[in-house]
Amino acid sequence: QFILAQSLNDDFSDGNLQDPTYLGDTDDFVVQNEQLRLMAPAAGSSFLFLPVQTDASQTVIYELFAQLEFSPSSSNFAELRFAGLGPSGEAVSYALKIGGISGDQDALVFSATVDGTEQTLISGTAGAVGQDTARARIRLVRSATNNWTLLADYSGGDNFSNEGSS
């Protein structure tokens, strides 16, 4: 079942993952103080997904606050995926990675995978999420013409800087 949404907002004020209904490794996540937290019992990968159908003829804005209470690394980072069909009906997966680069050069990286081939579309400011407690409020905008813009405020506020477009 897909949710057709002009506006979907989950601020986690309900304290759970039921409205809207998230799927995946739900036992690895909790809502505390109106924030989604990963509480997996062991190292590895945990994922949540939310099936949402968007209207490709409309601008879509994704906004989130991310706080990683550690310095990200190439094996310990956060990633958000957006999957669907591209303009020509091909399978497309977009990913916004928070960290994932070795050393203190961790950045926001937005990429696309089309028919199995990944390509970086936007690389944010090097080192911006490379510190112990990596924090950013992120706004990702997809226009009706499939152009993407990545904006971020690394203090967690809403004073966004343009990190790039593709």
Per-residue model confidence as pLDDT tens digits over 57-86: 888 899 999 998 888 888 889 998 888 777
Q: Do residues 53 and 75 touch, judged by C-beta distance below 8 A?
A: no
Query: For 148-158, what is each residue's pLDDT tens digit?
Result: 999 999 999 99
Query: For 132-142, what is each residue's pLDDT tens digit?
Result: 889 999 999 99
Q: Do residues 57 and 144 touch, judged by C-beta distance below 8 A?
A: yes
Return all residues near 61 (Cβ < 8 A) that are at least 6 apart.
Answer: 139, 140, 141, 142
pLDDT at 131: 86
